[in-house]
Chains A and B, each alone.
Chain A
Amino acid sequence: MDNLQVELQYFLELFLGGLTKGSIYALIALGYTMVYGIIELINFAHGEIYMIGAFTALIIATVLNIMGVNHAALVLLLSAGGAVVYASAYGYTVEKIAYSPLRNAPRLSPLISAIGMSIFLQNYVLLAQTSNFLPFPKLIPEFEFLEPISHIMGSSEFTIICTTSVIMVLLTILIKFTKIGKAMRATAQDKSMALLLGINVNHVISFTFIIGSALAAVGGVLIGSQMGQINFYIGFIAGIKAFTAAVLGGIGSIPGAVLGGLVLGWTESFGTGYISSDYEDVFAFTLLVLILIFKPSGILGRNTSQKV
């Protein structure tokens, strides 16, 4: 009986760990999936935007701390807000510099440009700041009501899951019921037709990059305060994983990105918990390969027949 309880608790722990991780993957994957849906580009620099978001939050929080601002909520608000603003600005600028001149170029050119941008941004942060891991301040306070279940879910896990859920709902409302959301969907379906109907496609693309970057920044701040440390390289692997999540769920589909993120998070969590912790990334990629072989459009992706 006792054994069963231990097993159950272990299972619950892994489940919640996977949920937390999956939520972060989902936040980053949304940026990939939205950009891919609109301009069919794998935005390799997206992981770097996430990293820049985390760095900006770290810098703002530390400066505020040194200046003597100790109000926890104020620090959290300012640093998260600053991270979102700066990440969006970076996302917008990256699109303007590296992708928008290449709208009509051969398909692989923007991809190479994106890889170049990713290398550039990584080294930019490395040179402007440091190559060492920096300790990330604990932005999320301890919640008292979580005390009884603190052994399975801490306050940062709780915050991550809640924030992600709220953001998903807001994003769905934005895409489904607002004018700009409608414009985004129209552009994703048919760019030239949207242009003919008077939609400013360039604005829509910029807006998509801004939203995606803001979501990535939120993910960066959350993961930073959960992990407690960041460096300039965190964006790369997170970016690849999040892209995997986006493809897993069906690229271009927003609920798909969320589902893909969660499935990926759980696969990694249960895989490392029950099989072996050395192969965390192998589980993720094996799952991806398997899903793509048996359902090439992803879990929620629509099967589009190729047009002649």
Chain B
Amino acid sequence: MTPLKHILRSIMISIWFMFLTFPLMVVYINPLNYTVTWRWKNMIMVGIGTFFASFFWRRFQNRTVGNNDKPSLGQKTLNHIYTSPEISRMLLGVLILFTLSFPFIFSTYQTNVFTTALMYVVLGLGLNIVVGLAGLLDLGYVAFYAVGAYSYALLNHHFGVGFWVALPLGALVAAFFGILLGIPVLRLRGDYLAIVTLGFGEIIRLILENWDKVFFGPSGISNISRPAFFGVELVEKSIPHAIKYMYYLVLLLVLFTIFFVNRLKNSRIGRAWIALREDEIACQAMGINKMRTKLTAFALGATWAGMVGVIFAAKTTFINPASFTFMESAIILSIVVLGGMGSIPGVILGAFFLVLLPEYFRTLGDYRMLAFGASMVIMMVFRPQGLISHIRTKYNFNAKEPLA
């Protein structure tokens, strides 16, 4: 295209968007006292903004189309980091030092935000087992998170059960729910499974909201005790200490999860999941029990959500059904897909991206959710495989040596 054509096209696009945004952005009605404000300035801004944005859009789109087969520079660097043990060890060392010293360098607020991000890392890794490895689209993951949180909150409220007892219990209850839901619905394929899990998530939330006799309704449960430190109760006064403690606890869980998922991925069951994701029929022909394999993935995913749920309840000391909406499921799923399905570093990066971005852009005020939605779309359009796409293990056969 010649430059003139480019400009003409962009003008057309900007006119289209000025038309599109006219009623919502220019006209402002006040139906109470019957007045209309005309905000023509907005129209000019939309026109100019879309004019320039369309140039960038086309430029980047051409680039993505052109370079589809070749690995990008970032991918190459990453490959290099993965394959060279010196660099990866050094990077890992720096990362470990940074995460360990984080609560001492930064403020309590930062530590708190970081803890939340780490919790989402675990949630993302848990969902990654279900969606990324086994290829089961689960839109109601938050239900298991809620199950974990409520099991701890209720046990604590009624029987004074401590955090360390509740952690495995919550995980077990969530896993039980995972199997309970899994048995009937795992026969469904693809999007049907997605919509049933979505429905299940909503049912759990609505029951929590409406059955006030058992679950205390929309007002939720408060005064949940924080975790004790080897039997020593951390007193309510030292909230900064509690937050630091929480941080290390979640960090430990993250490390455990990474280790576990990594081992799982290369295990017999992990390979079965990946095979099932790629081709169900071929997989069954190879003698893999489809139902059992899927159920394990579902139950394991739920287990992690349950554990994070218990931690969430202990961290905030207050829970109510509003924390477990569909939006939460959507965000966890976005973490997995945005980061790169099946890739552990990708999920970690995705979690930080999606949790820290809205948090640090609070200054943008109301615009932050707008930017959040837009960045999800832009990310997907320009990098549909995710931030760090999953790299398959390759076995290289060295042909130089003679074959005996």
A residues lining the B interface (CB < 8 Å): 36, 40, 42, 52, 55-56, 58-60, 62-63, 65-66, 82, 86, 89-90, 93, 97-98, 101-102, 105-113, 115-129, 134-135, 137, 240, 243-244, 247, 251, 278-279, 281-282, 285-286, 288-289, 292-293, 296, 306, 308
Determine whether the beta carbon of A123 is less than 8 Å from that of B24.
no
Residues of A with C-beta under 8 A to B48: none
Interface string of B184-210 (1 = CB under 8 A from A): 110111111011101110110011001
Q: In the complex the two chains form, what is the Cα distance from A279 to B204 in whole Å?
A: 11
Q: In the complex the two chains form, what is the Cα distance from A243 to B337 in whole Å?
A: 22
Determine whether the beta carbon of A42 is less than 8 Å from that of B194.
yes
CB contact under 8 A between A109 and B377, given known A93-B20, A240-B198, A251-B191: no
Which residue on A lies nearest to B366, using beta carbons?
A: A127
Q: Which of B19, B36, B210 contacts A66 (CB 8 A)?
A: B36
Which residue on A lies nearest to B25, using beta carbons?
A: A128
Known: A119-B369, A123-B367. 6 other contacts (CB 8 A): A63-B27, A93-B16, A121-B373, A134-B29, A244-B195, A285-B199
Residues of A with C-beta under 8 A to B334: 112, 115-116
- In order of increasing CB-CB distance, the 7 nearest A-B pairs are A116-B376, A120-B373, A119-B373, A105-B384, A285-B199, A109-B384, A113-B380
Determine whether the beta carbon of B27 is less than 8 Å from that of A59.
yes
Residues of B with C-beta under 8 A to A134: 29, 31
Residues of A with C-beta under 8 A to B375: 116
In the complex, whether B326 has a CB less than 8 A from a CB of chain A is yes
Determine whether the beta carbon of A243 is less than 8 Å from that of B195.
yes
How far in angstroms is the closest Cβ of chain A from B269? 22
In the complex, whether B381 has a CB less than 8 A from a CB of chain A is yes
Determine whether the beta carbon of A127 is less than 8 Å from that of B370.
yes
In the complex, whether B35 has a CB less than 8 A from a CB of chain A is yes
How far in angstroms is the closest Cβ of chain B from A298? 9
In the complex, whether B131 has a CB less than 8 A from a CB of chain A is yes
In the complex, whether B116 has a CB less than 8 A from a CB of chain A is no
Determine whether the beta carbon of A63 is less than 8 Å from that of B380.
no
Q: Which of A42, A52, A243, A293 contacts B24 (CB 8 A)?
A: A52
Q: In the complex the two chains form, what is the Cα distance from A125 to B369 in whole Å?
A: 12
Determine whether the beta carbon of A240 is less than 8 Å from that of B381.
no
In the complex, whether B385 has a CB less than 8 A from a CB of chain A is yes
Most A-side CB within 10 Å, residue of B198, B337, B377: B377
Q: In the complex the two chains form, what is the Cα distance from A62 to B385 in whole Å?
A: 45
In the complex, whether B77 has a CB less than 8 A from a CB of chain A is no
Determine whether the beta carbon of B381 is less than 8 Å from that of A102.
yes
Can you list 27 A-B pairs with a CB-CB distance of less than 8 A? A42-B194, A55-B23, A56-B23, A63-B29, A82-B23, A86-B20, A90-B20, A109-B337, A109-B380, A113-B380, A115-B330, A115-B376, A119-B369, A119-B372, A123-B369, A125-B24, A129-B28, A134-B29, A244-B195, A282-B210, A289-B184, A289-B185, A289-B199, A289-B200, A289-B203, A292-B192, A292-B196
Interface of B, helix, strand, loop or mixed by DSSP: helix
Q: In the complex the two chains form, what is the Cα distance from A121 to B372 in whole Å?
A: 11
Interface string of B35-64 (1 = CB under 8 A from A): 110000010000000000000000001000
Residues of B with C-beta under 8 A to A293: 184-185, 187, 196
Q: Which of B34, B337, B377 contacts A98 (CB 8 A)?
A: B377
Q: In the complex the two chains form, what is the Cα distance from A90 to B281 in whole Å?
A: 40
Residues of A with C-beta under 8 A to B203: 282, 285-286, 289
Residues of B with C-beta under 8 A to A56: 23-24
Q: Which of A118, A128, A244, A282 contacts B373 (CB 8 A)?
A: A118
Determine whether the beta carbon of A63 is less than 8 Å from that of B36.
yes
Residues of A with C-beta under 8 A to B377: 97-98, 113, 116-117, 120
Determine whether the beta carbon of B206 is less than 8 Å from that of A288.
no
Q: In the complex the two chains form, what is the Cα distance from A90 to B196 in whole Å?
A: 29
Residues of A with C-beta under 8 A to B35: 66
Determine whether the beta carbon of B187 is less than 8 Å from that of A296.
yes
Interface string of B356-390 (1 = CB under 8 A from A): 00000000001101101111110111001100000
Q: In the complex the two chains form, what is the Cα distance from A59 to B26 in whole Å?
A: 11
In the complex, whether B333 has a CB less than 8 A from a CB of chain A is yes
Interface string of B1-43 (1 = CB under 8 A from A): 0000000000000001101110111011101001110000010
CB contact under 8 A between A116 and B373, given known A109-B337, A110-B380: yes
Determine whether the beta carbon of A59 is less than 8 Å from that of B376.
no
Q: In the complex the two chains form, what is the Cα distance from A282 to B200 in whole Å?
A: 9
Q: Which of A106, A123, A129, A243 contacts B370 (CB 8 A)?
A: A123
How far in angstroms is the closest Cβ of chain A from B208? 11
CB contact under 8 A between A296 and B192, given known A98-B377, A115-B376: yes
Q: In the complex the two chains form, what is the Cα distance from A239 to B202 in whole Å?
A: 14
How far in angstroms is the closest Cβ of chain A from B161? 29
Determine whether the beta carbon of B337 is less than 8 Å from that of A112.
yes
Q: In the complex the two chains form, what is the Cα distance from A135 to B30 in whole Å?
A: 10
